[in-house]
Structure 1
Amino acid sequence: MAILSMWAVMMSQMWMLRWVVLLMGLQQTQAAVTGAQYRTVTVLPDMANLIVTTVIPNPDYRFATCSTWGNFHLKTFDGHFFQVPDTCNYILASLCNGEKHSDFNVKMQRKIVNNSVTFSQITVDLQGTVVELTSNKILMDKQELFNATLKNGITVKMSTSGVKITNNHGVNVFWEKDQSLLIELPEKYRGQTCGLCGNFNGNKTDDSFDNDLAKWKVPLLESCEDIKFQPTDQCKNQSLTDICQYYLSSPGFSDCYRVMDMSSFQKACEDDLCHCNGEHDCLCNTLTEVSRQCTHSGGIPATWRTKQLCPKKCPLNLQYMECGSPCKSTCLGPDANLLCKEHCVDGCFCPNGTVEDDVGKSGCVPVNQCPCEHDNKVYRSGESYTLACKKCNCTAGRWTCTNLECPGICSVVGGSHITTYDGKTFTFSGNCDYILTKHSNNSGIAVVGNLAKCDWGRSDTCLNSVTLVISGTTIHFSYNGFVTLNGNRLYQLPDSTGGLSKTDCSIISMLKIKLNKIKHN
């Protein structure tokens, strides 16, 4: 036993040394940035009385939050912190009224993957609509989701890093994949909740579940595993406290002291240094949770990450921010952030003066460089396309179209099927000469068609002849191919003169009349 105890102490000292080395590197980096001409001296700062516990409530913040993250950490709606070190399925939050389909019921189960703690499955039941979340799939009432969805008053929004689920009662569930799960409840549910998230009565002292975790376990067919932590008294000392105080004293967290009790997060940080065997992501999950809890409480966290400490990468030219608008401005919605009423969130965002290109998927661009899309083709700003009757130019993500001089077309097909200039179709079986089109003032142009039975043995109608009158000149087309000009025989089709071919069918089966727009003085 003495040998094991000594080994545990030595290992804890080695893990702590990793964080001290990282801390020294960060201080050297910060010193180099502030003044490269000075010699760098690494000194642990005096952290006396740094962690404050007096919080000024934010009058605009009307939600309570419960969250679970990282190394089995959990914070109740009333602010009690504890750990649930096992892989069992638990009810996090639900109404205590016992109804089968209440406003909300959120369950969670963890698993261990490559010595890291992650989520196995999250089940969110909102008024009978069930959303199931796993690392590679999102189901809504057993149907897989690939895009943002609204069903039965339940909204599911997706991002590259997580999922947000809301209902019309003000319940919000935020899942950051593999990292954290957070539940927001409005004040109307105060004192009505059950589960690991507590009773939401404003008193955190009655949220202890040290001997009562089994009450909120969900029975499963498979077994779950208890995780044994190293006793904290074997690794906790003043050095761990100093390291965590240093991290939490970053200017990036300065506004968080105004809205949160940071002392509980300091203890979570010390637990991570003690239990996580020097695993870098373990402490990063807690520092990230501090930043997210700060935004949910109405604070504005600033940049605290560095290239050495919990770095984040974004695709293309997007930038990672701890506090950005959840209503992203894009080429299709450039003013979305101006209408946003939600608190800020962390993630990848476009720099000021640019919007996200959700058309061409090219990252962040100035609004005046936004592309457009037509018929599944992307056009850059300044490019255009032309159709028969209009030309459209792409300007800053918007189409500007100009109508062109466009011909109108009327057709007679099969001797009875007629389509007007405006696209109306009808069937007409005639037995006479009919004016198919003419100028409204009886001048300029006229087309007359002879519709009659095809022959004595048939009942259908044929277009037997067409007469075209243009400015006093009359051209007559007969079904047998003869063409006359002003009553004089012109020639018989088909005919070829001077390389120009003139062809017609022996029976006129279709007539198409194409007129350009006629302007009136």
Structure 2
Amino acid sequence: MQELFPKREQFPTKPTYGEEEEEIFETHRTKKIKHLQDYKLPQKPINETNYEIGPTYSYKKFQNQVIDLIPKPGSCFSWAGSHFKTFDGKVYSFDSKCSHIFLKDAIDNTFSIIIQNHPECYKGPDSKGCYKFIKIYYQDKEFYLKRSDEGHPIFASPKKTLPIPGQLPGIRVTMAANYIVLSLDTVGVTLKWDGQQLVHAEVKESMWNRTEGLCGKMDGDNVNDLETKEGRLAKSVITMASSWKVDDLDEPCNDSPVEEHTCNVNDFTGELGRAATKFCAKILADPRFAACSEVVDITSLLESCRWDFCNCPNQKDPSICTCETLEVYVRDCTHKGVQGLSQWRDDKTCPMKCTGGKVYMHCGPKKGQEMCGAASVLPEVGNTCIEGCYCPEGTVLYENKCISRSQCPCKLRGKSYPPGHSIPKDCNTCTCNNGEWKCTQVSCGARCAAVGDPHYITFDGKRFDFMGQCSYYLVKTDNFSIEAENVACAGAISEAMNFPVSVSS
């Protein structure tokens, strides 16, 4: 069998540096360089005898491997309930019923993002739908991303449900195809959630060396990506994951993370294990992903793919459970600048099934998905496409279904009103039309009042109080004016309103 990985003793334990290497270290202070021995690359990344897969990207960079320390944007993933890919590219897996810190500002603590597998994920065939529950702490406020009982995505605070799309100080929520996109603009963090188990965090270079949690420290070196909450480098994924566990004060979680799975990494002899290795090795090395292998190490996702294949509830076609790993592969490549991957799906490879009258588009409309009462603008710019399920032209999205705009309801103070419904507003009438309130523009009369000791009410209903002993205009126009003066009441220390000054015109 062709040897894919060099033996450990082939690498020098203490590399010696000549003048050239010393000069490199001196001139490239923003790079860390690992000096390793040269060796021949395998002609093929896949051993066709047992379908083991060799590294691609990391293999090509093994000699004098350069770890770029120049700050740059980063991308972190969690998918399929168990898998994680850090900002610096480390992939690991564990299963847990508890909440864990996914991403956090390690320096100023401006935000933290906590994720948890919903209890429905562990109910087996009786499950109503497995998804990631997401909690966001930002500017001392708490928000949630979750699903309703009907399966609709919800953005909420502890007190009320907030609209999607919607905007609050420093935070925006919109939709892009199948994804809820939450942007924390002031800190440069964007969170994308597919309403199920895929969570994708993108951060700007301003977060370089400032992140911690399951996404790791974004510093260009994945060696420290298994750091615990206490800042120590863990020897196992379980130790690291346990340190980032978050307990609810009311209901502490006693579950322990689990790293084992049905398709054990060392078990190539079993029928299921061999089938998983064969399928995952071939699909990850598919020619359509050739450009990806230049920027992402295929081997980093092989074990995640095998895990999903072996744990798939649908054993008639377990390959369907590997689609999230492939999607992460494509999204990570796209984030790193690889183009031409928008049509990676086909009828045989992870076809996307759309519901609610939506249709699949490998490249969504540039103006975003039109929705009742608003348009959800895509966060990406340039030539980047977002694949997914969109409403056909001429229809808009409402509660995850496509309807004509004339069917859109209107909302007021948290209540929904059907098309054609009318409500009074002062002397005008507002009618629900195409998801928006259309109001008549009749000029209404108004009343201003000055009462007692001394209280004022403006024409628009504003109330205020102030003490003064001068004469004041209550109303003044080009044609007339009304003045008033506060005078002391006989035998009282307070002052009452009097009108000693005449009305002039």
Partner of 2:16: none
Distance across 2 between alignment mates of 1:224 and 1:342? 47
Distance across 1 between alignment mates of 2:164 and 2:378? 21
Partner of 1:233: 266
Partner of 2:101: 91
Distance across 1 between alignment mates of 2:183 and 2:223? 29
Partner of 1:292: 331
Partner of 2:466: none
After superposition, the Cα gap between the structure-2 partners of 1:71 and 1:165, relative to the gap in structure 1 and judged at 3 Å, is closer
Superposed, 1:21-420 pairs within 5 Å as 51-53=56-58, 62-97=72-107, 99=108, 102-111=109-118, 112-115=121-124, 118-119=130-131, 121-136=133-148, 137-140=154-157, 142-158=159-175, 161-168=178-185, 169-208=187-226, 209=234, 210=236, 211-220=239-248, 221-226=251-256, 227=258, 228-230=260-262, 231-235=264-268, 240-276=276-312, 278=315, 279-300=318-339, 301-315=341-355, 318-324=358-364, 327-328=367-368, 340-341=381-382, 343-349=384-390, 355=393, 357-358=395-396
Q: Is the 8 A contact 2:134 2:144 kept in 1?
A: yes
Per-residue CA deviations over 1:100-139 (Å, capped at 9, x if unaligned) read: xx33201111143343894452111222332212232431
CA shift at 1:78, angstroms? 0.9
TM-score w.r.t. the length of structure 1 is 0.52
Q: Is the 8 A contact 1:108 1:119 kept in 2?
A: no
Distance across 2 between alignment mates of 1:425 and 1:188? 52
After superposition, the Cα gap between the structure-2 partners of 1:206 and 1:280, relative to the gap in structure 1 and judged at 3 Å, is same
CA shift at 1:266, angstroms? 2.3
Distance across 1 between alignment mates of 2:101 and 2:158? 19
After superposition, the Cα gap between the structure-2 partners of 1:357 and 1:298, relative to the gap in structure 1 and judged at 3 Å, is farther
Letter in 2 for 1:303: Q
Distance across 2 between alignment mates of 1:48 and 1:304? 21
Q: Which runs of 4+ in 1 moved over 6 A?
A: 43-50, 331-339, 359-365, 370-378, 422-426
TM-score w.r.t. the length of structure 2 is 0.54
Letter in 1 for 2:296: M
After superposition, the Cα gap between the structure-2 partners of 1:238 and 1:424, relative to the gap in structure 1 and judged at 3 Å, is closer
Per-residue CA deviations over 1:339-359 (Å, capped at 9, x if unaligned) read: 945843231247xxx845339
Superposed, 1:429-468 pairs within 5 Å as none
Letter in 2 for 1:132: Y
Distance across 1 between alignment mates of 2:100 and 2:254? 11
Q: Which has the higher strand share?
A: 1
Distance across 1 between alignment mates of 2:332 and 2:366? 15
Letter in 1 for 2:116: Q
After superposition, the Cα gap between the structure-2 partners of 1:132 and 1:46, relative to the gap in structure 1 and judged at 3 Å, is closer
Superposed, 1:5-20 pairs within 5 Å as none
Q: Unmatched 5+ residue regions in structure 2? A: 1-47, 149-153, 227-233, 411-417, 421-433, 435-440, 446-505
Partner of 2:151: none
Distance across 2 between alignment mates of 1:152 and 1:255? 40
CA shift at 1:76, angstroms? 1.0
Letter in 2 for 1:229: H
After superposition, the Cα gap between the structure-2 partners of 1:245 and 1:125, relative to the gap in structure 1 and judged at 3 Å, is same
Partner of 2:484: none
CA shift at 1:374, angstroms? 13
CA shift at 1:373, angstroms? 9.9
Partner of 1:509: none
Distance across 2 between alignment mates of 1:70 and 1:48? 22
**SS state at 2:147 partner:** coil
After superposition, the Cα gap between the structure-2 partners of 1:334 and 1:219, relative to the gap in structure 1 and judged at 3 Å, is closer
**SS state at 1:164 partner:** strand
Q: Unmatched 5+ residue regions in structure 1? A: 1-42, 379-396, 398-421, 427-521
Distance across 2 between alignment mates of 1:179 and 1:339? 22
Distance across 2 between alignment mates of 1:135 and 1:254? 37
Distance across 1 between alignment mates of 2:308 and 2:168? 40
**SS state at 2:266 partner:** helix
CA shift at 1:335, angstroms? 13
Q: Is the 8 A contact 1:324 1:346 kept in 2?
A: yes
Distance across 2 between alignment mates of 1:74 and 1:155? 25
RMSD: 4.6
CA shift at 1:90, angstroms? 0.8
Q: Is the 8 A contact 1:320 1:347 kept in 2?
A: yes
Distance across 2 between alignment mates of 1:192 and 1:335? 30
Partner of 1:433: none
Distance across 2 between alignment mates of 1:264 and 1:123? 28
CA shift at 1:205, angstroms? 1.4
Letter in 1 for 2:195: K
CA shift at 1:260, angstroms? 2.6
After superposition, the Cα gap between the structure-2 partners of 1:287 and 1:355, relative to the gap in structure 1 and judged at 3 Å, is same
Distance across 2 between alignment mates of 1:176 and 1:132? 14
Distance across 2 between alignment mates of 1:424 and 1:133? 43
